[in-house]
Amino acid sequence: MTEPKIYIVDDLEVVRKGIKKSLNLIGYHNLEEVTSGEEILDLLRNNSPVNNGCSDIIIMDTQMFPGKYGYDICSEIRQLYGSNVKIVGMSSDEVYESKWLEAGADYFFPKSGLCELKSFRDTIDSIVSK
């Protein structure tokens, strides 16, 4: 199976690096760090959101400064690309889970769960296998 392109969208470098390290540890290497919602929209506009027949994955933070909320960017991505992109919303506050799902995210993952590598791997593997 072809490995999907995974975009890690967060304004904090330490968070992006941590997620990237976790993804590398669980076997994913086609990764790109993105610093804002606007940047991911630009990347998707300039590149096809489908990588060799498998959907790209976007792991995106809720609050990125400056800029829009991640779930607002999620709504825009859904309008532009439908289900060709899989989106994982993240936040340190689980109160945002319903906003992410209403915006069209495929999954919500609490940032606190990133420490639980097996759970994170299970989530990403589940997305890739669909």
Over pLDDT 70: what percentage of the chain? 94
Mean pLDDT of the region 87-105: 91
For residue 14, is pLDDT > 90? yes
Confidence of residue 1 (pLDDT cuts 50, 70, 90): low
Q: Which two tokens stand for residue 56?
A: 């790209």
| Assigned CATH topology for domain 6-129 | Rossmann fold (3.40.50)
User: For residue 88, is pLDDT > 60?
Assistant: yes
pTM: 0.90
Look-up of token digits 């319903």: 98
The predicted model gives 123-130 an average pLDDT of 85
| Phi, psi of 38, deg, nearest 5 | -65, -40
Burial of 84 (C-beta count, 10 Å sphere; 0-12/13-18/19+): middle
Tell me the average pLDDT across 107-127: 84
- Residue 107, helix vs strand vs coil: strand
pLDDT at residue number 54: 66
> Euclidean distance between the first and final Cα of the chain, in Å?
12
Question: How many angstroms separate the CA atoms of 16 and 30, rounded?
Answer: 14
pLDDT digits (tens, 9 = 90+) for 28-84: 999 999 999 999 999 988 876 655 556 789 999 999 888 899 999 999 999 988 888
**In angstroms, how far is CA 54 from the centroid of its own chain?**
15
Domain-wise residue ranges, the chain: 6-129
